Amino acid sequence: MRTFVRGIEGRLKDFILGRDSRKVVFRAEGCGLANRLRALVGYQALARLHKLPFYLTWTADPTCPSQFKDLFDSPINLVYRRALWSIRPRAIYREAIWFENIWKRWGTGIDWVTFLKEVHHCLRALTPQPRLAQTLADFHHRHSLSDAIGIHIRNTDNLAAYAEWTKF
């Protein structure tokens, strides 16, 4: 229910305020790395397909303690928090939502397959810093991850959503 209410609030805010049609700024904070990256490529794809400049504000915090430039060597225009005051609030997207929801809310006139292809392009353009890429490759090789199967067990952030799903 809480997720549903937040979705309605977001849509109402979009309707009342409208969105700035001159740029897209994703403010990544308050969530983990995977959530940030998933939303980042969605907003970046949205901007690219609407032929708008894309900017990223990335705040290191307890949920993701690294700066973007410490993790990635990618050509993304960064805007630091202190400069956000000069950007119209309607250009700033704060929700770290799935890229499918980004397309549903703001992808009017964009074909789903076209959007997915652009998301894929944006994701492939995320290049880890060389030192980090080498550390990951070494870990992968040392632990024979090519032969591994992984399972991701979620037991914290989705409890409320799971309770909603089980009602049906």
Q: Are 96 and 37 in contact (CB under 8 A)?
A: no
Per-residue pLDDT band for 147 (boundaries 50, 70, 90) equals confident
> Any idea where the domains of the chain sit in the sequence?
2-146+153-165
Polymer length of the chain: 168
Encode pLDDT of 69-127 as tens digits: 999 999 899 998 888 888 888 889 999 999 999 999 999 899 999 999 999 999 999 99
Encode pLDDT of 11-69 as tens digits: 555 555 555 568 999 999 999 999 999 999 999 999 999 999 999 999 999 999 999 99
CA distance 154 to 150: 13
pTM listed for this prediction: 0.77
Q: Which of 126, 114, 127 is nearest to 48 (CA)?
A: 114
Single-letter amino acid, residue 45 = A
Q: Are 119 and 97 in contact (CB under 8 A)?
A: no
